[in-house]
């Protein structure tokens, strides 16, 4: 990952296929000079943020390659804070490759993956959290992911972090002053007040860390396994959630033999839904193998929908399957509520909050089931500023550990110099979060997963 930012980089920023338009982007101090070596327009020159229509030509022969609209963004009012040019021509791979070759021959260097965004970061246009959000935005599979990534790219998490960090820096400054001037009788913070301020910082960070539970599923999605004994309607619930007849449904117990999985989205969250073979003590070898897979799928899933038949009494088998779900996040789906009910819910001793009543046949309750999947995360709408990846979560965790240590140091009456050491560790972690102190190989990891031209 080159961090030299004196040269001019170029790349095709749109996918290389046949399309109406394709864009070649240049960034760096020679962007205009290079562009003008192969572009002529009646205007003769480029003006900041004014698109100019003209011809792209081969400098050696003067042959026109394509007509193009060229837009110049003068530094620092550009994405990279450098002189930046976007050449928008026809989306022919041959044209795009030729233009790219010409700009490279004229002195530009081919950009590495993510290098435009890296420059925006290195020049202070965006912080690391925003850079990661741009990556998430490009990778988004659902509109909800786009919305969250857009909020992050606009700095929502950085804004949430800012007051916490300011508070920490304030506390460090006070302690530093107290130590430096201790002999000059400058009063340092009273213990109780300091305790209070430390707890406030900790609470802010803990809230941010907690947002990862939801942030993680927004970006990575969830795997949900549907389990239960045979014939309770697992495949029917699976189909109802997918809104298609994907899995085979019959009245014969043991219909589903192997795992059937399908990806979908529920409320904008990418979901991998897995239908499993009904769990029972089966004699048939094939069925037994299927059941082994069901058990594995339940173990691997982020969440389990445990389907039971409302038209039948609770069985020993139901109880046994429920036992396997101990300690796992699960919802009990009471199916077939369109039939006369024989299941005595009161005797199940399952908290009502994890019970959903549905009829896969009529569709009743299916919409509520969709909502119940994410109920624990509260409103999916207003949750701006989420921690969305492990790097972020780990750094916040590091800061929290250091803060905890500083609190212990305070309680144990150790000198403030010792507290300061921990506070600096916390600050370093928060700085790394936004990218104020990041080592190059971490930057390499983050930006190399971008596509070229971004």
**Smallest distance, Å, CB 331 to ligand GTP?**
16
Residue with tokens 């590495």: 112
Q: From the list Mg ion, ligand GTP, none, pick the one residue 142 interacts with, judged by a Cβ distance below 5 to 8 Å according to partner type.
A: none
Q: Measured between alpha carbons, how far is 86 from 24 in angstroms, rounded to an integer?
A: 6
Shortest Cβ contact with ligand GTP: which residue?
A: 278
**Smallest distance, Å, CB 225 to ligand GTP?**
13
Residue 294 touches ligand GTP, criterion: CB under 6 A: no
Q: How many CB atoms lie within 10 A of CB 413?
A: 7
Dmax (CA) for the chain in angstroms is 87
Residue 339 touches ligand GTP, criterion: CB under 6 A: yes
Cα four-point dihedral sign 167, 173, 179, 183: negative
Q: Measured between alpha carbons, how far is 149 from 137 in angstroms, rounded to an integer?
A: 5
Q: State the alpha helices, DSSP H only, in 325-451.
A: 366-372, 390-411, 416-434, 440-447
Of 152, 231, 392, 406, the one binding ligand GTP (CB under 6 A) is 231
With contacts defined by CB under 6 A, name the span among 147-155, 160-168, 227-235, 412-420 that binds ligand GTP. 227-235
Of 11, 102, 232, 400, the one binding ligand GTP (CB under 6 A) is 232
With contacts defined by CB under 6 A, name the span among 132-140, 162-170, 232-240, 281-289 that binds ligand GTP. 232-240
With contacts defined by CB under 6 A, name the span among 81-89, 330-338, 386-394, 413-421 that binds ligand GTP. 330-338
Q: How many residues bind Mg ion, per CB under 5 A?
A: 4
Q: Measured between alpha carbons, how far is 271 from 42 in angstroms, rounded to an integer?
A: 53
Cα end-to-end distance, the chain, whole Å: 14
Of 88, 219, 223, 359, the one binding ligand GTP (CB under 6 A) is 359
- Token code pair at residue 173: 């400054």
Question: Closest Cα to residue 175, out of 412, 410, 428?
Answer: 410
Of 119, 234, 357, 454, the one binding ligand GTP (CB under 6 A) is 234
Site for Mg ion in 371-390 (CB under 5 A): none
Of 152, 235, 359, 406, the one binding Mg ion (CB under 5 A) is 235
User: Which residues, listed in sequence order, are joined to residue 226 by a DSSP beta bridge?
Assistant: 275, 305
Residue 158 touches Mg ion, criterion: CB under 5 A: no
Question: Closest Cα to residue 85, out of 3, 196, 8, 143?
Answer: 8
Long-range (24+ apart) CB contacts under 8 A made by 50-56 are 51/88, 56/87, 56/89, 56/99, 56/102
- 379: CB partners within 8 A, 6+ apart: none
Residue with tokens 């800061």: 399
Question: Closest Cα to residue 118, out of 168, 81, 72?
Answer: 81
- Reported residue count of the chain is 454
Question: Closest Cα to residue 71, out of 104, 109, 112, 25?
Answer: 25
Residue 219 touches ligand GTP, criterion: CB under 6 A: no
**Smallest distance, Å, CB 344 to ligand GTP?**
19
Question: Closest Cα to residue 450, out of 195, 180, 111?
Answer: 111
Residue 251 touches ligand GTP, criterion: CB under 6 A: yes
Residue with tokens 């239960």: 228
Of 178, 204, 254, 268, the one binding ligand GTP (CB under 6 A) is 254
CB 180, CB 307: distance < 8 Å = no
Binding mask 127-166 toward ligand GTP (x if CB under 6 A, else -) reads ----------------------------------------
- Rank residues 211 and 256 by Cβ distance to ligand GTP and give the closer one: 256
Q: From the list Mg ion, ligand GTP, none, pick the one residue 64 interacts with, judged by a Cβ distance below 5 to 8 Å according to partner type.
A: none
With contacts defined by CB under 5 A, name the span among 167-175, 233-241, 346-354, 423-431 that binds Mg ion. 233-241
Of 256, 335, 388, 409, the one binding Mg ion (CB under 5 A) is 256
Q: From the list ligand GTP, Mg ion, none, pick the one residue 243 interacts with, judged by a Cβ distance below 5 to 8 Å according to partner type.
A: none
Of 236, 388, 389, 392, the one binding ligand GTP (CB under 6 A) is 236
Query: What are the CA-CA distances from residue 432 to residues 36, 150, 156, 425, 452 (Å)?
Result: 40, 21, 17, 11, 25
Q: Measured between alpha carbons, how far is 187 from 400 in angstroms, rounded to an integer?
A: 27
Count helices and strands (H / E) in the chain.
15, 13
Site for ligand GTP in 256-285 (CB under 6 A): 256, 277-278
**Smallest distance, Å, CB 309 to ligand GTP?**
8
- Token code pair at residue 239: 């189909």
Q: How many residues bind ligand GTP, per CB under 6 A?
A: 23
- Rank residues 338 and 436 by Cβ distance to ligand GTP and give the closer one: 338
Q: From the list Mg ion, ligand GTP, none, pick the one residue 335 interacts with, judged by a Cβ distance below 5 to 8 Å according to partner type.
A: ligand GTP
Of 336, 357, 416, 454, the one binding ligand GTP (CB under 6 A) is 336
Interface residue list for Mg ion (CB under 5 A): 234-235, 255-256
Contacts with ligand GTP by CB under 6 A lie at: 230-236, 249-251, 253-256, 277-278, 335-336, 338-339, 359-361
């Amino acid at each position: 990952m080159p961090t030299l930012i004196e040269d001019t980089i170029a790349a095709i920023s749109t996918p290389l296929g046949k399309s109406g338009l394709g864009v070649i982007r240049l960034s760096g101090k020679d962007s205009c000079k290079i562009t003008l070596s192969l572009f002529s327009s009646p205007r003769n020159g480029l003006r900041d943020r004014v698109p100019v229509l003209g011809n792209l030509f081969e400098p050696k022969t003067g042959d026109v390659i394509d007509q193009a609209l060229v837009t110049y963004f003068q530094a620092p009012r550009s994405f990279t804070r450098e002189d930046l040019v976007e050449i928008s021509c026809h989306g022919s791979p041959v044209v795009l490759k030729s233009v790219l070759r010409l700009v490279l021959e004229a002195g530009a260097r081919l950009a590495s993956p993510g290098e435009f965004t890296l420059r925006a970061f290195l020049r202070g246009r965006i912080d690391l959290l925003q850079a990661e959000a741009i990556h998430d935005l490009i990778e988004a599979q659902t509109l909800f992911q786009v919305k969250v990534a857009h909020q992050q790219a606009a700095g929502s998490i950085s804004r949430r972090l800012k007051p916490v960090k300011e508070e920490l820096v304030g506390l460090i400054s006070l302690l530093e002053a107290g130590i430096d001037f201790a002999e000059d009788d400058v009063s340092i913070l009273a213990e109780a007040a300091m305790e209070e301020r430390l707890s406030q910082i900790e609470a802010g960070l803990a809230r941010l860390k907690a947002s990862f539970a939801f942030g993680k599923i927004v970006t990575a999605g969830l795997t949900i396994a549907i389990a239960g004994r045979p014939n309770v309607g697992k495949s029917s619930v699976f189909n109802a959630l997918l809104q298609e007849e994907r899995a085979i449904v019959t009245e014969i117990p043991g219909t589903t033999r192997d795992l059937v999985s399908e990806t979908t989205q529920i409320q904008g969250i990418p979901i991998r839904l897995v239908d499993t073979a009904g769990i029972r003590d089966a004699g048939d070898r094939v069925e037994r193998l299927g059941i082994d897979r069901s058990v594995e799928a339940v173990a691997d899933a982020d969440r389990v929908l445990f389907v039971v038949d409302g038209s039948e009494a609770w069985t020993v088998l139901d109880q046994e399957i429920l036992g396997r779900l101990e300690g796992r996040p699960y919802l009990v789906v009471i199916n077939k509520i369109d039939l006369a009910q024989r299941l005595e819910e009161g005797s199940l001793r399952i908290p009502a909050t994890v019970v959903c009543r549905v009829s896969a046949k009529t569709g009743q309750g299916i919409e509520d089931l969709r909502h119940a999947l994410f109920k624990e995360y509260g409103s999916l709408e207003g949750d701006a500023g989420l921690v969305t990846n492990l790097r972020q979560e780990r750094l916040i965790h590091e800061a929290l550990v250091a803060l905890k240590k500083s609190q212990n140091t305070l309680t144990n009456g150790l000198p403030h110099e010792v507290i300061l050491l921990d506070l600096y560790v916390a600050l370093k972690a928060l700085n790394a979060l936004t990218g104020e102190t990041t080592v190059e190989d971490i930057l390499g990891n983050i930006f190399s997963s971008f596509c070229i031209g971004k």
